[in-house]
Amino acid sequence: MLDESGAESEFVKLSTINVRPCLACFGCARDNVCKKKDDFPVLAEKIKAAKALVIGGYIPYSPIDGFTKALLERFWSFRHQKNLLKGKLVASVLTGLLPEALAAVNQSLAAEMKEYENMDLIGQVSIQGNIVCAFCGMGDVCEMSAFNSDMIDPDVKASDVKYAKVEDQKKVWEEAVRIGRLMGERLK
């Protein structure tokens, strides 16, 4: 998506930086600047300077992952007095196992971006991933495996599951390319 936009971009992996959840201290209320001493203030300056954002996340247990949730909570600091994200282009990319969970989190993200942040959501991509139990090496014998629960057909063994590579999900790639190109057009 970033490549297809043709714009200069920077990928920030949230798991490699320290962005804590919002502590609701209201220190940002007067000047839109979060006062917490972690890596968010530096990231916030990049976000404010960016003309567009692509927010990615995964769904480990129905809601979005903690790294992405913490980032979204910290967006609170952008909305006091004046909305610093208003009109900014945004797209999202989600990975997860269950289509229902992907749809629900996408709906929640769309509401967050459009209604709360007043951003211009131009697209969302959902990538259906794999259950970790299929590839940890213990899926067929582990008592905690999703293959031994109601989540997966009890007749299916982890060793029977074919790995669903994102590269093989043609519709996902086509949508990512479409959104990336749209983003590039809108940024011109």
Q: What is the pLDDT of residues 97-108, one digit of tens each?
A: 888 999 999 999
pLDDT in tens, 110-133: 999 999 999 999 999 999 887 777
Give the mean model confidence (pLDDT) for residues 71-95.
94
Please list, residue by residue across 51-76, b when 16 or more beta carbons sit within 10 angstroms of its beta carbon and e when fewer do. ebbbbbbbbeeeebbebbebbbbbbb
The pLDDT assigned to 153 comes to 67
The pLDDT assigned to 97 comes to 82
What are the extents of the domains in the chain?
2-129+166-187, 132-163
Residue 82 confidence class, pLDDT cut points 50, 70, 90: confident
What residue type is assigned to position 170 of the chain? K
pLDDT in tens, 21-32: 999 999 999 999
pLDDT in tens, 130-186: 777 777 778 777 777 766 666 666 677 777 777 677 778 899 999 999 999 999 999
Distances (CA, A) of 76 to 85, 104, 127, 137, 182: 10, 22, 27, 41, 27
CATH assignment, 2-129+166-187: 3.40.50.360
The structure's pTM equals 0.87
Helix 40-49 to helix 66-74 angle (10° resolution) is 70
